Amino acid sequence: MGTSDAVRALKAAQIVMEGDNVELSSEAKERIIRLFRDSMTRLAKFEELADVGSRLLQGYRQGLEFLRRPPIKKSDVVEKIIKANETERLKSYFGEKSKCINTSDALENINKLNACDSGLKDHLTRAKAIVTELEMLVEETATATLCTKEVSILLCKAPNDMSDAAAAPTRHEESVSPPSPAQSSEASELEYALMTGIICSMVRQEYAMQEKIVTSLNFKVSSEELESYCLMWSIRPNINDDIMRMAWKLIR
114-121 contact pairs (CB < 8 A, 24+): 115/59, 116/56, 116/57, 116/59, 116/60, 116/63, 117/60, 117/217, 119/52, 119/53, 119/56, 120/53, 120/56, 120/57, 120/60, 120/214, 120/217, 121/214
- Asked, for residue 95, whether it belongs to a domain, the answer is no
> Could you tell me where the beta strands, DSSP code E, fall in the chain?
none
DSSP, collapsed to helix, strand or coil, labels residue 252 as coil
Residue type, 204: R
Question: What confidence score (pLDDT) does residue 228 get?
Answer: 97
Question: pLDDT digit string (tens) for 55-66?
Answer: 999 999 998 888
- Asked, for residue 46, whether it belongs to a domain, the answer is yes
- Asked, for residue 123, whether it belongs to a domain, the answer is yes
- Asked, for residue 74, whether it belongs to a domain, the answer is no
Residues in CB range of 208: below 8 A, 6 or more apart: none
- Asked, for residue 204, whether it belongs to a domain, the answer is yes
pTM above 0.75, yes or no: no
Question: What confidence score (pLDDT) does residue 185 get?
Answer: 44
- Asked, for residue 99, whether it belongs to a domain, the answer is no
- Asked, for residue 94, whether it belongs to a domain, the answer is no
Question: What confidence score (pLDDT) does residue 104 get?
Answer: 58
Question: What confidence score (pLDDT) does residue 119 get?
Answer: 97
What angle, rounded to 10 degrees, do the helices at 149-156 and 184-216 form? 40
User: Domain containing 132: what range?
Assistant: 3-68+108-251
Provide the domain count of the chain: 1
Question: What confidence score (pLDDT) does residue 157 get?
Answer: 56
CB 37 within 8 A of CB 125: no
Q: In the chain, which residues have pLDDT < 50? A: 1-7, 10, 71, 74, 96-99, 149, 158-187
DSSP, collapsed to helix, strand or coil, labels residue 86 as coil
- Asked, for residue 165, whether it belongs to a domain, the answer is yes
